[in-house]
Amino acid sequence: VTAEKGGFDHFMLKEIHEQPKAYRDTMRGRIDESGQSVVFPGLNLTEEKIRSLNSVHIVACGTAYHAGLVGGTVIEQLVRIPVANDVASEYRYRSPLITPETLVIVVSQSGETADTLAALREAKRNGAHVLAITNVVGSSIARDADDVIATLAGPEIAVASTKAYTSQLIAFYLFGLYLAQVRGTKSNEEVAHVIAAMQSLPEQLESMLANVEPIKAYAEEIAVHQNLFFIGRGMDYAVVQEGSLKLKEISYIHSEAYAAGELKHGTLALIEEGIPVIALATQENVLEKTVSNIKEVKARGAAVMAITHEEHVADLLRSVDQALSIPKTLSLLTPALSVVPLQLLAYYTSLARGNDVDKPRNLAKSVTVE
């Protein structure tokens, strides 16, 4: 069994460490040799169809839904098409506005999630083109979709999804760039610039994974708490939702992920002396706003840990109790790095609490009933 885990104590830790490889594998063959553009050989979605699209719906469950939240922002920013994100169990019951000009993207690690499969079928019945982003090419969802972008994360065993999520992000970056190329919403130079930054991600991730001690120490601190909060804005908000889910799944600590600016509209009442707040503060355009939200919780006694880029650590340390840094990349790509400390935090907290990391109570890897 230890051999299966490649020398790691748990599948989850092994899979966290496999992420640099998953990034490389998911990018391979989808970037042309010059590194200037994205290619998707064999896509049924024609360029003409791409030009006619007027909306994108992204539908998924759990962690895949959270990847879709990042993906939606990526597509809106790169392509300027309106995107709606839905959890699959809600989507088909709210009579979504689906037309032949709607692209529906379903995201599923397993490709077997019943809610997502049902949403896919509903979308097809209404004439949408359905693209599946999945880790299992022979799955039901892959078979039923009009197109498939395979994430090449390799088999994921731990119930708590890690490398599948980050590979889904890579798939969204590539696909977003592809749409932008076809619709001409980004120049060749801009596309090449993002591609170059993407190609640095695996190495940046390797450097992060070589130094997990600070996260481990912080995990031991929070392991004794019953409640905590995650805050962030923009893409950071999408990422903390995944960080919070990860922590709930395997540590059984209650946590909430809040859009940092929304906290004051109610939930701030729950902030009391000593409660841990984890602030993800990587998005340059809203950094100052996030800092003022951090001050709001600090003033009510919260113990704040911030995750930010190296260059902002010194500044942030004036407002927070501790800070961790992540390597610098484009704001758009930051989720592919910033989620990793949150995955590790969930892992080490679960470990510190003596839980079964790979098989959390009440949860299944793949849920094939609605």
Locate the DSSP E strands across the chain. 55-60, 83-87, 102-108, 129-134, 147-150, 227-232, 254-259, 276-280, 303-309, 322-326
> x/- contact string, 86-125, with ligand G6P (CB under 6 A)?
----------------------xxx--x--x---------
Q: How many residues does the chain have?
A: 370
* Interacting positions 123-152 with ligand G6P (CB under 6 A): none
**CA-based angle 131:135:138, to the nearest 5?**
80
By beta-carbon proximity to ligand G6P, the closer residue of 63 and 73 is: 63
Q: Which stretch in 3-11, 60-68, 121-129, 341-349 sits in contact with ligand G6P by CB under 6 A?
A: 60-68
Q: Of 110, 58, 106, 119, nearest to 86 (Cα)?
A: 58
**Could you tell me which residues come within 8 angstroms of residue 214 by beta carbon, excluding any fewer than 6 positions away?**
324
* Interacting positions 14-43 with ligand G6P (CB under 6 A): none
- Tell me how far the alpha carbon of residue 83 is from its chain's centroid: 16
Catalytic site residue 5?
Answer: no
Tell me the number of residues near ligand G6P by CB under 6 A.
Answer: 16
Q: Which of 216, 298, 359, 365 is catalytic?
A: 365
* 367 touching ligand G6P, by CB under 6 A: yes
By beta-carbon proximity to ligand G6P, the closer residue of 68 and 276 is: 68
By beta-carbon proximity to ligand G6P, the closer residue of 160 and 303 is: 160
Nearest approach, Cβ of residue 136 and ligand G6P (Å): 8
Nearest approach, Cβ of residue 175 and ligand G6P (Å): 17
- Per CB under 6 A, the list member of 19, 26, 63, 73 interacting with ligand G6P is 63
Phi-psi region of 111 (alpha: psi -120 to 50; beta: other; left: phi over 0): left
According to DSSP H, which parts of 138-266 are helical?
A: 140-144, 163-183, 188-209, 213-222, 235-251
- Per CB under 6 A, the list member of 159, 208, 228, 247 interacting with ligand G6P is 159
- Per CB under 6 A, the list member of 64, 130, 170, 260 interacting with ligand G6P is 64
Q: Of 130, 115, 126, 141, nearest to 60 (Cα)?
A: 115
- Per CB under 6 A, the list member of 155, 288, 363, 368 interacting with ligand G6P is 363
By beta-carbon proximity to ligand G6P, the closer residue of 85 and 110 is: 110
- Tell me how far the alpha carbon of residue 10 is from its chain's centroid: 21
Q: DSSP 3-state assignment of 330? A: coil
Residue of closest CB approach to ligand G6P: 62
Q: How far apart are CA 14 and CA 165, in angstroms?
A: 15
* 253 touching ligand G6P, by CB under 6 A: no
Q: How far apart are CA 338 and CA 319, in angstroms?
A: 20
By beta-carbon proximity to ligand G6P, the closer residue of 180 and 346 is: 346
Q: Which stretch in 90-98, 119-127, 174-182, 358-366 sits in contact with ligand G6P by CB under 6 A?
A: 358-366
Nearest approach, Cβ of residue 260 and ligand G6P (Å): 24
- Tell me how far the alpha carbon of residue 198 is from its chain's centroid: 15
* 71 touching ligand G6P, by CB under 6 A: no
* Interacting positions 161-190 with ligand G6P (CB under 6 A): 161
Q: Which stretch in 278-286, 316-324, 331-339, 357-365 sits in contact with ligand G6P by CB under 6 A?
A: 357-365
- Burial, 4: exposed, middle or buried (Cβ in 10 Å; 0-12, 13-18, 19+)? exposed
By beta-carbon proximity to ligand G6P, the closer residue of 64 and 260 is: 64
Q: Which stretch in 56-64, 175-183, 252-260, 263-271 sits in contact with ligand G6P by CB under 6 A?
A: 56-64
SS (H, E, C) 219-235: HHHHCCCCEEEEEECCH
By beta-carbon proximity to ligand G6P, the closer residue of 175 and 218 is: 175
By beta-carbon proximity to ligand G6P, the closer residue of 61 and 222 is: 61
Q: How far apart are CA 238 and CA 244, in angstroms?
A: 10
The answer to whether 360 and 346 have CB atoms below 8 angstroms apart is no
**Which residues bind to ligand G6P, rule: CB under 6 A?**
61-64, 108-110, 113, 116, 159, 161, 363-367
Residues designated catalytic: 365
